[in-house]
Amino acid sequence: MKVLFVASECAPVVKVGGLGDVIGALPVTLKEIGVDTAVVIPAYKPLIDQCQELFKNRLLHTEVRFAGVSTPVNVYQTVIPKSSVPLYLIQNETYLSNGGIYGSPTAFAVSQNEVNRFAFFSKAVTSVFLENPSCDFRPDIIHCNDWHTGLLPKLTRNLIPTIFTIHNLANQGFSATDIVDKLGIYINKSKLLSWDAEDSNIDFILQGIMSADYITTVSPTYAKEILTPSFGEGMQDVLNAREGRIYGILNGVDYKVWDPKTDPSIKKNYSHESLGGKGQCKIALQQELNLPVDLVKPLISFIARLTTQKGIDMIISLLDEILGLGCQIVILGAGDPSLENRLRMKASDLEKEGFFQARVKLEFNDPLAHRIFAGSDIFLAPSRFEPCGLTQMVAMKYGTIPLVRRVGGLADSVESGVTGFSFENFNDSEFMDSLKRALNYFSYKEEWKKLVLTAMQRDFSWTAAAKKYAEIYNLALN
Ligand code: GLC
């Protein structure tokens, strides 16, 4: 069985958020259990400029018809690093290989140019992988991911089964209706497209949900939540109509990348069998960030794309209170410029007031993220909604206890009082109460150690998820 993953990111080659991590790991684990996978992503300009080694092998040159014009496309072939999974990169000057990766640092679709880009990408994928005889990977199934690939099931004209995975329903990809003409689809021949166009736009994620053979999302709880108005982002009726075809499969963690036992970025390696190194990692982190070195003081961390989804606005507004509880905090992330500004201002106010227990790093910094996971004690994920969330699972592997809101994948992966702490409703008092509970627990060293060891031994490897995806591929083929 050959499965082609189509996505906008694939770690470590291109990663903006969790989507990249999933596409860099799931196809590799599927291959290990016998599913023949490959991945295709756009050849973004920063990749061409900075990673020339990816572009040594040009597989084919062709033309793709879009907006009435035939546009040249080059397809390069490499592999996902440290694996044998083929990674195809589609290069095209007009739509794919100009500008950056996304239009906004939040990764949310913001412009017509961006939707054109991914509509073109989807068209290119069908013409290369389903029609071009020079392409050496002929899939039996196409596995689409997020709004970027929402039109792909329609474009395949049911020639081949498609799976559509929702990583984030809030990011939908809206386009002017003439996108269908650009793609050469006749809107009047499709009831779904005509209906979607009634409000004068085409919603890519809606198209993916309605046209794919099976829909998956990245945790069992989110699969249920999105059927309700609170989490459905306006798609709940459409999703309810397809309920029998929706599966929730919890994402995994790539322990080849995220394991304190082997992590080359951290000060001292450690594991649940020998925990000593974690203290050294904490001291090293405090030194690196210029925080007072103190093993007894709890060190709290937050690492995420800065969007309100992640609850960072609540953390900012509560920062004085949090620090008042006698802890240190480090925040790492980039994203929404207004949230970055608020954080920048808050950090400088704190410094002026003489609070030296907080550090804010407004950047994507992968090695630092590793050191923060290793060096901190408590990891915050107070999300408004969370399709899966990977960081809470990474934190557990590093013996850093997650404090999460009980939604989506956070609810499915963190067991309150056993591997972490959780609260139900998104509000200041429930969050602060659970933080106080966690800090109180932290003061009982033996109890805390038990929590740490239990969390570290929870298995979130990709194998279980890969087996479930393989079952869905079988359903789709039959
Ligand atoms: C999106 C979601 C996140 C999920 C990730 C990978 O970034 O917001 O919850 O873990 O996709 O599926």
Residue ranges of domains in the chain, CATH in brackets: 2-252+463-477 (3.40.50.2000), 276-456 (3.40.50.2000)
φ, ψ for residue 442, nearest 5 deg = -60, -30
Percent of the chain with pLDDT over 90: 95
Distance 19 CA to ligand 1 centre (A): 6
Is residue 293 very low, low, confident or very high in pLDDT (cuts 50, 70, 90)?
very high
Q: What is the atom index within ligand 1 of the atom nearest the CA of 408?
A: 9
pLDDT in tens, 128-152: 999 999 999 999 999 999 999 999 9
* pLDDT score of 188: 84
Is residue 172 in contact with ligand 1, taking CB distance under 6 Å?
no
* pLDDT (mean) for 230-253: 97
Q: How large is the average pLDDT for residues 388-415? A: 98
Q: Report which protein residue has its CA nearest ligand 1's atom 1.
A: 167
477 residue type, one letter: L
15 belongs to an annotated ligand binding site: yes
Residue closest to 321 by CA, chosen among 228, 442, 439: 439
Radius of gyration of the chain (CA): 23
Pocket test for ligand 1, best of 390, 404, 462 (most atoms within 8 A of CB): 390
pLDDT over threshold 80, residue 355: no
Check residue 220 and give its pLDDT: 98
What is the spatial distance between Cα 256 and Cα 374, in angstroms, rounded to a whole number? 15
Q: For ligand 1, atom 7, name the residue with the nearest CA.
A: 18
Burial of 10 (0-12, 13-18, 19+ CB in 10 A): buried
Report pLDDT digits (tens) over 270-284: 999 999 999 999 999
CA 228 remoteness from chain centre: 22
pLDDT value at position 353?
A: 81
Cβ of 350 closer than 6 Å to ligand 1, yes or no, is no
List of residues 6+ apart from 237 with CB closer than 8 A: none
**First-to-last CA distance in the chain?**
12
* CA 209 to chain CA mean position, Å: 19
Q: What is the mean pLDDT of residues 146-169?
A: 96
Distance in angstroms (rounded) separating the CA atoms of residues 32 and 428:
44
Atom of ligand 1 nearest to the CA of 390: 10
Q: Is the CB of 402 under 6 A from ligand 1?
A: no
| Structure confidence at residue 186 (pLDDT) | 84
Q: Is the pLDDT of residue 354 over 90?
A: no
Residue 158: its pLDDT value, please? 82
Q: What is the pLDDT of residues 431-441, one digit of tens each?
A: 999 999 999 99
Per-residue model confidence as pLDDT tens digits over 201-238:
999 999 999 999 999 999 999 999 999 999 999 999 99
Residue 167: CB within 6 Å of ligand 1? yes
Q: Is the CB of residue 22 below 6 angstroms from any atom belonging to ligand 1?
A: yes
The whole-number average pLDDT for the span 10-38 is: 97
- Indicate if the alpha-carbon torsion angle 224, 228, 234, 238 is positive or negative: positive
- Mean residue pLDDT of the chain comes to 97
Q: Does the C-beta of 221 come closer than 6 Å to ligand 1?
A: no
